[in-house]
Amino acid sequence: NAGVTQTPKFQVLKTGQSMTLQCAQDMNHEYMSWYRQDPGMGLRLIHYSVGAGITDQGEVPNGYNVSRSTTEDFPLRLLSAAPSQTSVYFCASSYPDKTQYFGPGTRLLVL
Amino acid sequence: RKEVEQDPGPFNVPEGATVAFNCTYSNSASQSFFWYRQDCRKEPKLLMSVYSSGNEDGRFTAQLNRASQYISLLIRDSKLSDSATYLCVVTLNYGQNFVFGPGTRLSVLP
């Protein structure tokens, strides 16, 4: 049972490049979400999904897109990377109102 | 005002000490409550859920006061391995949204 997996673990991008952060879970959880965590700040919700085909914006959605074509996968797309998007990104999954399980994170540096 | 606020910390305590963390939340419609632990450069992991009647898990005790919108975590007999950041979490919107506090960092010193 792998839980929540994220790839890549580390990534360096140049300003303006695009990339997709992958997230997958094998617990059949309906709910998946993406957070970013910056030094001295808590986890901030970027986008979330309550089931396949349903996504919604969180607190800081600008510059990011998501889709949820299957229950298992919830990729996060950076359309045109900016230095302000340098952060640690965590994906999480859960049943609604139950414990959230987090992936190991992706450390992103945008130059 | 932030939705979830916590003691700013850091807390530096000797081994064996008892330490208490406080958390307040602003939305009275918050449904569920949790404490998570996050080690340096790692993902957050559930420490314990918080129930209205209060609950205990070994050296850890969590309390919830819905009227005051206040959550607490008490750690007794601190161990070096308790050093981490402790995150207070509430859920909103029928459990669809998890709102994290900024965290309180604990260092347990030998």
Average pLDDT of the residues of chain B: 93
Q: What is the pLDDT of residue B94?
A: 75
Nearest residue, CB atoms, B100 vs list A31, A42, A48:
A42
- Average pLDDT for residues B39-43, to the nearest whole number? 92
Cα torsion A93, A73, A7, A39: sign: negative
Q: What angle do CA A21, A27, A32 make, to 5 degrees?
A: 45
| Closest chain A residue to the Cα of B34, Cα to Cα | A99
Q: Which residue has the higher pLDDT, A99 or A70?
A: A70
Q: What is the pLDDT of residue A78?
A: 96
Q: Which residues of A touch B40 (CB under 8 A)?
A: none
Q: What is the pLDDT of residue A2?
A: 77
Q: What is the pLDDT of residue A1?
A: 64
Contacts of B42-47 with C-beta under 8 Å, sequence gap 24+, read B42/A104, B42/A105, B43/A90, B43/A102, B43/A103, B43/A104, B43/A105, B44/A43, B44/A90, B44/A100, B44/A102, B44/B87, B44/B100, B45/A102, B46/A99, B46/A100, B46/A101, B47/B73, B47/B86
Over 90: is that where the pLDDT of B14 sits?
yes
Cβ <8 Å between B103 and A90: no
Query: Over the stretch A41-98, which tens digit does the pLDDT of each residue have?
Result: 789 999 999 999 999 999 899 999 999 999 999 999 999 999 999 999 999 999 877 8
Query: Over the stretch B77-91, which tens digit does the pLDDT of each residue have?
Result: 999 999 999 999 999
Nearest residue, CB atoms, B96 vs list A31, A42, A102:
A31
Cβ <8 Å between A97 and B46: no
**Residue A33: closest CA among A10, A2, A61:** A61
Residue A70 distance to chain B (closest CA, Å): 18
